[in-house]
Amino acid sequence: MNVKSDTKEKFHVVTLSEPVLSASMTGEMEKYLLSYLQNDAQAAEAKVKNLVLRMAEVGSVEPAAAEKLVEIQQQFYESGASFVICELQQAVEDYLDQQELLELINVTPTESEAWDIVQMEEMEREMFGDEDAANENPV
């Protein structure tokens, strides 16, 4: 699986450089993407768990890989991190829509819009995290 990774202030951008996201890649893809959720205190990027997945070069996705993307996103959200897919080719977007998976994942046309979603979700987590803490420890 060919990928490129770039770390920003609040998120990592992972670019898949594959024409087909195949079922045989799902294990490797899952291991690679979920590694960003690991909290290694030694790594400077450890505090950055949010991930933007650029799929501009992916022309088709096999069913098992599409379902794995949904599972990976769910694991990110269960861990309090964002997972946004951006720059889907129209054929991939249409396929995900036909499989009724598109509505289950965060998808944006551009990386900039993905960054906006990450920022909004970060603010929501901060707001709701503060409210949860206040409700647990009333004064």
Mean pLDDT of the chain: 89
Q: How confident is the model at residue 132 (pLDDT cuts 50, 70, 90)?
A: low
The whole-angstrom distance between residue 80's C-alpha and the CA centroid of its chain comes to: 12
Q: Could you tell me the two tokens for 27?
A: 């294990």
As a whole number of Å, the end-to-end CA separation of the chain is 53
d(CA 136, CA 139): 10
> Domains of the chain, with CATH numbers?
3-136 (3.30.750.24)
How much is the pTM? 0.86
